[in-house]
Structure 1
Amino acid sequence: MKKNVFYVMFLLFVAVSCNRDELQNQVTEIEVAQKDPLNAKQINGKINESIKSTGNFSWAKSSDHLVWSAVFQGNKVASIGFGSTKDDFDRSLSSNNEQIQNEILALIEKYEGKEKSRILLNADKYLNQIDVAIEKQETVIALRKMKNIRYLEPADYHYFENESKFNGTAKSSGSSGCGFESTALNAADYTTVTPNAKAPWSFYKHNITNAWSYSTGAGVTIGLIDSGVSPEQSLLGSSFNNGLSSGRTISKVGVHVDSVWPWATGYDGPNDQCGHGTSMASAMAAPRNNQGQPVGVAYNANLIAYRAATNVVLDGYHEQNGVKIAFTELANNNSVKIISMSMGHIFSVGKIEDGVKYAYSKGKLIFCAGGTSTSFTTFVGVIFPAWMPETQAITGVKENTSNQKCDVCHSGAEIDFTYQMERASGNSVPVLSYYNAQTDYVGGSSVATASTAGIAALVWSKNPSWTREQVLNKMRQSATYYPIPNLDYGYGNINVLQAVQ
């Protein structure tokens, strides 16, 4: 009798176990109200409507259908951030990150009916973030219900490219920011300083040349995330130590893949193919040279320049991925104290947000451009990632003002500092050209950001034992509106001499 009871109980256990396994492998039926995806014009329309009516757009606050539509129209690739909490972005601090990642991939396998090898494009080694291939709306709906999903976003939706098609606007918020022009400088826009370098007019407005008596940026390393640096500009290469610049290094790193396909691999090198990165490198750290060329703010600082994107608009998979990689690598470089990026987007990108937070958690002082545009994005305020609390948002203002933004600059409550970069003549800041022994002008919040990063290097070099917060506090205390920041222009213009004394 006991044997029979045991046998019956064993069969019952097996049956229950089998049923449980079957239930786990079954795909829960999900009701889909809208089965067809929106087209790109409809998606952009909803994004623009949100920005104009609320001031921002967020994939997290969007419907499942809109998110899936953008994934579908963006090469069917999604970016997923996961973790036990909303701030659980660092893999090294997450004991259960592998378990959560495997649960996510298992769910995708069930709904997509594909093996893991055909789903997972990339798993970040520092962040709780993966890129996956998704086709079905049901998969997106199921994933967004998971408690350990921090965000699910389209990973390759080209908002600006689509906007250009539909409205005939430029491919970015104003332009791509690229240009290989060389322009002879107006003599009124610089002053020659020893040994034969051109100090831009803006340096005198911020008391930078006088500050050089106290600090030149020596011993501080700035990380630049941009389009790379020109291989043809020797003052940002073999002659980085020229004139009064000495004992420092410049490194060039490429983390951008030049392909329209998200699954393509192979970086295209560190060389600038846009011109923007070269201008930013010049503004912050060009040598105090003897060749009659423009000098940078921190002419004795070290520089690590990343080619992370093709231009200033982070509009596709490889641009966004490149920037994320640059932030995490610079974060893990103990020699780097400051990171500057004059690129961005008009709405948040989860993987870049994770990269910024990761760098901030490592003690980096991060400067980002508040935004530069023309007709298309005049309705946009401070752009991403400059609006993040982990960054210092910088914008450009007109000469002799601290509350009149330049003609193409953005302003708003998130701005922390301003930099004078636009003259009454319309000229902006002199910099090195893409080409050797030639010059150019560069403007917008881009040059304001790079110049302010250089200012931070001067302050930190003068006080090498200081923390990030101490450096920031000194910059604030030396600015126009301290201690009460302006509603749209933050602390305003920095008196650099005061900041280094």
Structure 2
Amino acid sequence: MINKLLKLALVLLLITTSCSKDDSLNEQTITIDEAYKLPLSAQEVKNSIDNAIETKGSFDWSESSSHMLWSASVHGQNVLTIGFGNSKNDFDRTKSRNQASLQKQLLDIIFKYEGQDIENVLINADEYLNIIDVVVKKQETIIALRKSKFIRYIEPGDFKYFSVGNNLERSDSSSTSSGCGFDGTTLNAVDYTTVTPNAKAPWTFYQHNITNAWNYSTGSGITIGIVDTGTSSSQTLLGSSFNDGFSSGRSIQKYGVYVDSIWPWSTGTDGSADKCGHGTSMASVAAAPRNDNGFPVGVAYNANLITYRAASNVVVDGYHEQNGVKNAFTALGNTNSVKIISMSMGHIFSVGKISDGIKYAYSKGKLIFCAGGTSTSFTTFVGVIFPASMAEAVAVTGVKEGASYQKCDVCHTGSKIDFTVVMQRSGSGNTVPVNGYYNNENDYVGGSSVATATTAGIAALVWSKNPTWTRDQVLTKMRQSATFYPNKHPEFGYGNINALLAVQ
């Protein structure tokens, strides 16, 4: 009996000693080799990202070394975004059984290695998602965090990829390099048809049988959420005249979640008004009113709109733009009236917090359309961009007018594309007429951006015609009306949607 007790005591002692040694070793093993004590340059980080995209077709921070992750965070004000949970799909804070405990454990690790009080570390803890944004300066802290089984992802929260080397690629369907533009233009008469009571139906609507579909549905009762750069306060057709002519009994709501600051801890937004022009164009093509003012009408001219200013331009780069998009998706996810969400912005690789926001909205039954990608120069090696590349998103791109399928001059294609929209004329190269940023002005807009907003409008027509349908039923009907159904083209998905067939 004594021998048994002695053996048991010895075992317990060994276990205790082993645990102590493990704890000690854990700290000792996080030693940084001399070769990795200095961070990579921002250009070296970007080159590594580009190499991954070119060789594998995608990039994910989870596949990068702790040294590269730390280096990127150093070049982004030491901000890290941490997605945590009990599993990779445990993103919803309201459904996570022990989210507070998990968050505390991670903050304890940060405190242990950083030696900073939590108030000096924690920038934000998301209200709806298992996400925290923190300031971490030591590479050892990142290594320790990555060992936790409760980490879903760790990403640099403010590394501005597109600003590296002043190689700023922000084009997406507008005349300027940021997708932004305020100047109106005179429309070519062949690019629209005047319909009663005196509205301009863009030429592309006839490519998709949208005007005939209006005999069955105009989008009434359906709310589209648009995540973009906001809506112009100088365009009354998307304001006080939103209900006018054939457009009636609907509403437009405008919100701003973008913080215009270089400091991650800043919280004051710059309002709902568009300061770019891109968001105004997207709102116009989706749901501009049909009246007698002589300006372009939207696809679903009786649908409701909720627009969010979530970023300053079309490439969601940096902390506040990515945070704004995430916040817009969670807010729209929590808005019961919203059926459809359209986003004509993106990034060339995945962003964890945006992914979580989209998954959250998707879990609420929203039908989400995202732009497949538009670029003119050095990002043309990228296929379908993020978040259109996500399974929860319906990816859309633009093609040229004509019987044979040709992508638009600046549009991305790939196996993840679901639908296409004809948005570039074969002769003139003109794109889609929309309302301008200012009253009494017209404009053109193109790329995968306008293709996405057009498709969201068609979805509103289908859902309005069948108000009891689910998201999947609406999407199935749209697929069945498209050119290549039941097959899927390797570059163009199901192809062009026939809106008339989709609402019949």
TM-score, with structure 2 as normaliser: 0.93
The match for 1:456 is 459
Conservation of the 8 A alpha-carbon contact between 2:260 and 2:320: yes
Which of 254, 258, 261 aligns to 1:259? It is 261
Post-superposition Cα deviations, 1:52-72, rounded to whole Å, max 9, x if no partner, equal 111111111011110110011
Distance 2:404 2:182 in 1: 30
Correspondence list, 1:344-355, <5 A = 344-355=346-357
Conservation of the 8 A alpha-carbon contact between 2:172 and 2:314: no
Post-superposition Cα deviations, 1:214-271, rounded to whole Å, max 9, x if no partner, equal 0000000000000000000000000000110000000000000000111111011000
Instruction: Report how far residue 403 of structure 1 moved.
Output: 2.7
Distance 2:38 2:500 in 1: 61
SS in 2 for 1:344: coil
The match for 1:292 is 294
Give runs of ≥4 in structure 1 deviating > 6 Å: none
Instruction: Report how far residue 26 of structure 1 moved.
Output: 9.1
Q: Which amino acid aligns with 1:481?
A: F
Conservation of the 8 A alpha-carbon contact between 2:229 and 2:278: yes
The match for 1:365 is 367
Conservation of the 8 A alpha-carbon contact between 2:172 and 2:179: no
Instruction: Report how far residue 402 of structure 1 moved.
Output: 6.4
Distance 1:68 1:95 in 2: 30
Q: Which amino acid aligns with 1:333?
A: T
SS in 2 for 1:277: helix
The match for 1:280 is 282
Post-superposition Cα deviations, 1:175-207, rounded to whole Å, max 9, x if no partner, equal 311001100100000000011100000000100
Correspondence list, 1:68-83, <5 A = 68-83=70-85
Identity of aligned residues (%): 66
Conservation of the 8 A alpha-carbon contact between 1:402 and 1:493: no
SS in 2 for 1:198: strand
Conservation of the 8 A alpha-carbon contact between 2:171 and 2:374: no
Choose 327-336 or 170-179, whichever is displaced more: 170-179
Distance 1:54 1:127 in 2: 29
SS in 2 for 1:60: helix
Instruction: Report how far residue 24 of structure 1 moved.
Output: 9.0
Where in structure 1 are there 5+ consecutive unaligned residues? 1-8
Instruction: Determine if the alignment matches structure 1 residue 433 to structure 2 residue 436.
Output: yes
Distance 2:351 2:291 in 1: 39
Distance 1:131 1:177 in 2: 28
Q: Which amino acid aligns with 1:409?
A: C
The match for 2:32 is 32
The match for 2:5 is none
Post-superposition Cα deviations, 1:76-111, rounded to whole Å, max 9, x if no partner, equal 000000011001000111111111100000000010
Q: Which amino acid aligns with 1:351?
A: K
The match for 1:4 is none
Instruction: Report how far residue 483 of structure 1 moved.
Output: 0.2
The match for 2:309 is 307
The match for 1:444 is 447
Which of 321, 331, 353 aligns to 1:329? It is 331
Correspondence list, 1:466-485, <5 A = 466-485=469-488
Distance 1:332 1:438 in 2: 35
Post-superposition Cα deviations, 1:117-139, rounded to whole Å, max 9, x if no partner, equal 11110000100011000000000
Choose 175-184 or 381-390, whichever is displaced more: 175-184
Which of 238, 241, 244 aligns to 2:240? It is 238
Where in structure 2 are there 5+ consecutive unaligned residues? 1-8
Instruction: Report how far residue 25 of structure 1 moved.
Output: 13
SS in 2 for 1:151: strand
TM-score, with structure 1 as normaliser: 0.94
Distance 1:55 1:401 in 2: 30
SS in 2 for 1:416: strand
Instruction: Determine if the alignment matches structure 1 residue 84 to structure 2 residue 86.
Output: yes
Instruction: Report how far residue 400 of structure 1 moved.
Output: 2.5
Post-superposition Cα deviations, 1:33-67, rounded to whole Å, max 9, x if no partner, equal 21000111111111111111111111110111101
Q: Which amino acid aligns with 1:275?
A: G
Kindly tell me the number of residue pairs found equivalent between the two proteins: 485
* Residues 401 and 388 of structure 1: CA distance in aligned 2, closer, same or farther (over 3 Å): farther
Distance 1:346 1:60 in 2: 16
Correspondence list, 1:482-501, <5 A = 482-501=485-504
Distance 1:470 1:136 in 2: 50
The match for 2:121 is 119
Conservation of the 8 A alpha-carbon contact between 1:57 and 1:347: yes
